[in-house]
Amino acid sequence: MAGVSSQSLTVAMAALEAKLPAASLQLARELFGILQTVDSSAGLRRALTDPSRSGIEKSALVRQLVGGKVSADAADIAAELAGLRWAAARDIGDALETLAATVVISVAENKSAASASGITGLEELENDLFAFNQVVASSHEAQRALSEPQASESAKTNLAHRLSPAASDEAKLLISQAVTQPRGLKPSKLVNRFAELAAKRQQRWIATVSVTRPLTDHQINRLQSALDALYGRELKINVSVESALIGGIRVQVGDEVLDASVVSRLGDLNRQLAG
């Protein structure tokens, strides 16, 4: 999303902030429900992003569509979103998805500062989302089942919950949304996007660290300090053990990959020999 759509999302996110202190998961469910309605109708999407229509007209259309079916807050958020300008028909759905996910993330953020385990609600949410993706990545059967177009939404939701039985309510809602309404993405990709939104919420980036064997607490602390210093901010570190690396370490932060694995060095050597 770029240009006018990106600007509109920024405006919508700023307006949402006022509602977040008292936000609930029910509000997020309602916004996800409106998203499903928008996604189900190409004609509606075109109407809501038609530059020849005024913002007032588009807002009124949404209020007429959802009035009496959702809470006043959900109707207001969706109507205000429709009243903004969007460069492409899909962009308004992407924005609505972001707003709904942000509500879920805020509910986690609004939990008590730290749980009995010593982690915050946001950290718990990020960990649960990451753990779900790790479980799915380790099972080809789960990947096929969650991507099966003929499977019902309830079947996919039940499977997702069985794969993440200890996940928080916030994580389960985002995971359910990802497996039932992936919107053209693999469910794991959408779960990862939700995790990135959660990390951004607490002004962090996610660093996915791939190693050949588990790291000690001392090693993780040293790695945390080094990466925080390198990027100039606190990172959320997720460690994944991958024997295929043979040795070394690979760190991915966003689109940037820092690769010091043996496999990478062998690849560099092969390229040098081939040249």
> What's the pLDDT band for 253 if we cut at 50, 70, 90?
confident
69-99 pLDDT, tens per residue?
A: 999 999 999 999 999 999 999 999 999 999 9
Residues 239-266 have a mean pLDDT of 79
Identify whether the C-beta of residue 236 lies closer than 8 Å to the C-beta of residue 252. Answer: no
| Res 273: pLDDT | 59
Residue 35 predicted with pLDDT over 60 = yes
pTM: 0.77
109-144 pLDDT, tens per residue?
A: 888 654 555 678 888 999 999 999 999 999 999 999
Which of 80-89, 194-203, 242-251 tops mean pLDDT? 80-89
pLDDT above 90: percentage of residues in the chain = 68
What is the Cα–Cα distance from 118 to 180, expressed in whole angstroms? 32
Secondary structure of the chain as H, E, C letters: CCHHHHHHHHHHHHHHHCCHHHCCHHHHHHHHHHHHHHHCCHHHHHHHCCCCCCHHHHHHHHHHHHCCCCCHHHHHHHHHHHCCCCCCHHHHHHHHHHHHHHHHHHHHHCCCCCCCCCCCHHHHHHHHHHHHHHHHHCCHHHHHHHHCCCCCHHHHHHHHHHHCCCCCHHHHHHHHHHHHCCCCCCHHHHHHHHHHHHHHHCCCEEEEEEECCCCCHHHHHHHHHHHHHHHCCCEEEEEEECHHHCCCEEEEECCEEEECCHHHHHHHHHHHHHC
Beta bridge partners of 240: 210
Q: Where are the domains of the chain?
A: 3-109, 121-201, 205-274
